[in-house]
Amino acid sequence: MNDRMNHECVRCRKIITPVGRYTAGYNTCITCGDAISQSTTRCVVPMHKSNYTLVTRKSDLIGINTKGGK
């Protein structure tokens, strides 16, 4: 394997460092990753039937809550 392979940030095209960041699943550099994480609302919602569901849109969260009653 070529462990010197460079991976570009999908946002700013800079090389992602450290490489471990890319192999951990990130496709952005640290700077862009921070910016994205701050602009994206994420929370984990416990569901009745399934495992924890990652919700990235507020509308999804509202849809879930309608079953809870008032």
Query: Rule CB under 5 A: which residues touch Zn ion?
Result: 9, 11-12, 29, 32
CB atoms closer than 10 angstroms to residue 9: 20
Looking at beta carbons only, is 35 or 61 nearer to Zn ion?
35
Q: What angle do CA 20, 23, 24 make, to 5 degrees?
A: 85
Q: How far is the CB of 30 from Zn ion (least distance, A)?
A: 8
Looking at beta carbons only, is 12 or 44 nearer to Zn ion?
12
Q: Residue 33, SS3?
A: helix
Looking at beta carbons only, is 33 or 55 nearer to Zn ion?
33
